[in-house]
A and B are shown apart, each in its own frame.
Chain A
Amino acid sequence: MDKIRNMSRESRSNFITYGMVIIAYAIMQALASMHAISSSMTGLLVPITAYICMAISLNLVVGVSGELSLGHAGFMSVGAFTGVVAASALAGAIESTMLRLLLSIVIAGVAAAVAGILIGIPVMRLRGDYLAIVTLAFGEIIKNLLNNLYVGLDARGLHFSMTDTASLGMDGGKVLVNGPQGAVGFPMISTFTAGFLLVMFTLIVVQNLINSRSGRAIKAVRDNRIAAESVGIDTTKYRLMAFVVSAALAGMAGALYAQNYTAIVPKKFDFNTSILILVFVVLGGMGNIRGGIISAALLTILPEKLRFIGDYRMLMYAIVLILVMLFSNNAQVRMQIEALRHRISHRVDDQLDAQAAKGGDAR
């Protein structure tokens, strides 16, 4: 009995999240097909799904593993550029754009996972503020590396250089990544449906991981590292696991995001983007996957919706952020909300008891 109750409570919460995403997708898809949404909104659909993926994956590190990472956009950019290059390289071999997008996303995920392992191994020796600082530096380093990356594609295959296009040594062909100018002239193959599927995939991976043996170990390390070690958990392994899975998912989101445009620059994935994603997670509630999804969607739409007030829109945006932060994270406000909820649920209980008493049949 207990088991059934337990399992269903956990999976009920997961299924509410899946349901919410599916319904939101269906509504937006229907509206789009009826041309009932503005063109600026249509253009936002893919970025929203990409940011939702970023929020879900960062939640795995910040909320579930309890580490502050300030370089999540770095993994997104690794995925974005890997994805663009992979898709271009595969263009000749694979006709179907859907399949090409899928493959480029998978390759981007692998590349970001490798980056996650490389940065994760030294970083996992650190904790707290130090970890935050190193991840911040990582984001900046990746940006600078990409600013100096040149990639070309010709009949002989891919060429890489860290100096300039001339040193690529190409005969004909096309420059895919051109240093600070970023990647240009690749096809827009991302679609809202692909974004929706990636959100679902990211959700399934993260929620399943959280509710497994490995996920419990990750949460144990977060709650009490010494106790986790004392029951035989390899704390480094599980912190690294959360970090790398999160990096891989961010890389996939990056590939989706980039291929919604025809050009992308490294600067797009700077510190500000990392902070923006962190804000999604904090506002949605750390460790609260559903909250993160909602805040990622709303905060991506909000600046667009506030466009009509011109220059004041970023100010409004900041004010809204501060207000929400106050209301969702202020202990006093939270306590009052909690007390209110308690009173309401008690009243309901009382009524139920009264009814049961009247009916003479207690449950």
Chain B
Amino acid sequence: MTRDEGTYKAQSEHAAKTETRHEGTYRAQAERAAGKGAPEHRHNRQRTKMVAPPNDYLVPERDALLTPVLECRHLGIDFGGLKAVEDLNLMVGKTEIAGLIGPNGAGKTTVFNLLTKVYQPTRGTILLDGQDTAGMDTARVSREGIARTFQNIRLFDSLTVEDNVKIGLHNQVECGMWSGIFRAPRYWLSEQEFHRRALELLDVFNMADNADDIAGSLPYGAQRRLEIVRALATNPKLLLLDEPAAGMNPVETEELMDNIVKIRDDFQIAVLLIEHDMDLVMGICEGIVVLNFGKVIAKGTPEEIQANPQVVEAYLGKQE
């Protein structure tokens, strides 16, 4: 079975509702199954009833007919004896803001490290915009469209804010070593482009005034914002945010929520975020996946997750 069939079968409910199937082959197959316009039978084959296999992928309705930006199948990694992530199935829609939550040590950051190939998965498949990322390294995955921030901030501390963003733009603007050393026209053009685009991106978070500051000397909240800007600079399809609101005050968090939605709307990209601040998660995430001990224990909308007894138990311990 091809990937697309698998994916779109997964949308069984949705497909049944709308009855529009953009995959030609799939429509033909469905019609055949329904007995319409079926070709003459030359072989003596039993008619098979085709059904969508049950699975629990969820994406926003508006993204249902688009290739999902991310799909993980049976993803897992072991650290020695510890199964840090096990049998993770996950789908993120093209323009979805998704949440990945769970108690401390649940394996959330490990999932990000798997997606960005900081760790190579022990098991399973990762499809980025329909493309298998097996065998790619971190840099390659970034070029293919995954950008991330880090739980423990990782900026280029000794460089300026602007340089940090320019480094994020590394693969967006071309200028080879020789052009740089001998200051060829290419160099001047590329530097103009770097500068213009860096300031444009900094403007998303109103940080253009800080362009000349040293990144390591920024306040904590600003460092987190700069990390997001740097990640955005790589022109991603999927933005992974690891606890973006950690260490931010409520006002900053409020602004951050607006900005995450704004980024999604303006850049038309997907966001997958890890966060312990439930106001943020419930406030902006469309779909939520809950991890505990490396396994998915619940998936659903914020309302469903809040009402899920297993989730409450994972967070608060079993209530006798």
Determine whether B21 belongs to the interface, using a CB cutoff of 8 Å to chain A: no
B155/A231 in contact, CB under 8 A: no
A216/B138 in contact, CB under 8 A: no
CA distance A209 to B233 in the complex (A): 22
Total A residues in contact with B, Cβ cutoff 8 Å: 30
A231/B177 in contact, CB under 8 A: no
Residue in contact with A209 in the complex, picked from B138, B162, B180, CB distance below 8 Å? B180
CA distance A219 to B163 in the complex (A): 10
CA distance A228 to B154 in the complex (A): 9
A213 cross-chain contacts in B, Cβ below 8 A: 166, 170, 173, 175, 180, 190, 194
Q: List 11 A-B contacts (CB under 8 A).
A: A2-B199, A6-B162, A6-B211, A213-B180, A220-B159, A220-B170, A223-B155, A230-B147, A231-B168, A231-B233, A234-B139
B158 cross-chain contacts in A, Cβ below 8 A: 219, 223
Determine whether B65 belongs to the interface, using a CB cutoff of 8 Å to chain A: no
A231 cross-chain contacts in B, Cβ below 8 A: 142, 147, 167-168, 170-171, 230-231, 233-234
- Assuming the contacts A223-B158, A231-B147, asked whether A215 and B234 have C-beta atoms less than 8 A apart, the reply is no
Give the nearest-CB partner of A227 in chain B.
Answer: B154
Determine whether B116 belongs to the interface, using a CB cutoff of 8 Å to chain A: yes
Min CB distance A109 to B, Å, is 13
CA distance A245 to B176 in the complex (A): 14
Determine whether B94 belongs to the interface, using a CB cutoff of 8 Å to chain A: no
A227 cross-chain contacts in B, Cβ below 8 A: 150, 154-156
| A5, A215, A226, A231: most-surrounded residue (chain B CB, <10 A) | A231
- Assuming the contacts A6-B212, A212-B187, A231-B233, asked whether A223 and B170 have C-beta atoms less than 8 A apart, the reply is no
Residue in contact with B180 in the complex, picked from A6, A208, A220, A234, CB distance below 8 Å? A208
B157/A229 in contact, CB under 8 A: no
Determine whether A310 belongs to the interface, using a CB cutoff of 8 Å to chain B: no
CA distance A233 to B230 in the complex (A): 13
Min CB distance A67 to B, Å, is 16
A212/B167 in contact, CB under 8 A: no
B183 cross-chain contacts in A, Cβ below 8 A: 208
Min CB distance B109 to A, Å, is 12
Determine whether B148 belongs to the interface, using a CB cutoff of 8 Å to chain A: yes
Determine whether B143 belongs to the interface, using a CB cutoff of 8 Å to chain A: yes
- Assuming the contacts A6-B211, A224-B157, asked whether A216 and B166 have C-beta atoms less than 8 A apart, the reply is yes
Interface residues of B in 171-198 (CB under 8 A from A): 171, 173, 175-177, 179-183, 187, 190, 194-195
B187 cross-chain contacts in A, Cβ below 8 A: 212
Apart from A5-B212, A214-B175, A219-B156, what are 5 other A-B pairs with CB-CB below 8 Å? A216-B166, A230-B154, A231-B167, A231-B234, A232-B142
B28 cross-chain contacts in A, Cβ below 8 A: none
B212/A230 in contact, CB under 8 A: no
Residue in contact with A208 in the complex, picked from B142, B181, B233, CB distance below 8 Å? B181
Interface size class of B (residues with CB under 8 A): 35 or more
Min CB distance A8 to B, Å, is 12
A220 cross-chain contacts in B, Cβ below 8 A: 156, 159, 167, 170
- Assuming the contacts A6-B212, A213-B173, A224-B156, asked whether A230 and B167 have C-beta atoms less than 8 A apart, the reply is no
A230/B148 in contact, CB under 8 A: yes
Min CB distance B217 to A, Å, is 13
A212/B155 in contact, CB under 8 A: no
Determine whether A302 belongs to the interface, using a CB cutoff of 8 Å to chain B: no
Min CB distance B254 to A, Å, is 27
B195 cross-chain contacts in A, Cβ below 8 A: 3, 6
Contact with B along A203-246 (1 / 0, CB 8 A): 00100110111111101100110111111111100000100010
Contact with A along B77-102 (1 / 0, CB 8 A): 00000000000000000000000000
Residues of chain B having any CB pair with chain A under 8 Å? 116, 118, 137-140, 142-143, 147-148, 150, 154-159, 162-163, 166-168, 170-171, 173, 175-177, 179-183, 187, 190, 194-195, 199, 208, 211-212, 230-231, 233-234
CA distance A228 to B139 in the complex (A): 8
Give the nearest-CB partner of B113 in chain A.
Answer: A226
CA distance A2 to B161 in the complex (A): 13
Give the nearest-CB partner of B168 in chain A.
Answer: A231
A209/B177 in contact, CB under 8 A: yes
CA distance A235 to B142 in the complex (A): 13
Give the nearest-CB partner of B117 in chain A.
Answer: A229
A5 cross-chain contacts in B, Cβ below 8 A: 212
Give the nearest-CB partner of A2 in chain B.
Answer: B211
B231 cross-chain contacts in A, Cβ below 8 A: 230-231
B140 cross-chain contacts in A, Cβ below 8 A: 232
Min CB distance A215 to B, Å, is 7
9 A-B pairs with least C-beta separation: A212-B180, A232-B142, A227-B154, A223-B156, A229-B138, A213-B175, A220-B167, A232-B171, A214-B177
CA distance A209 to B180 in the complex (A): 6
Residue in contact with A229 in the complex, picked from B139, B159, B175, CB distance below 8 Å? B139
B168 cross-chain contacts in A, Cβ below 8 A: 231
CA distance A212 to B182 in the complex (A): 10
B170 cross-chain contacts in A, Cβ below 8 A: 213, 216-217, 220, 231-233
Contact with B along A99-128 (1 / 0, CB 8 A): 000000000000000000000000000000
Residue in contact with B137 in the complex, picked from A215, A228, A229, CB distance below 8 Å? A229
Interface residues of A in 136-168 (CB under 8 A from B): none
A232/B234 in contact, CB under 8 A: yes
CA distance A227 to B147 in the complex (A): 10
Min CB distance B22 to A, Å, is 32
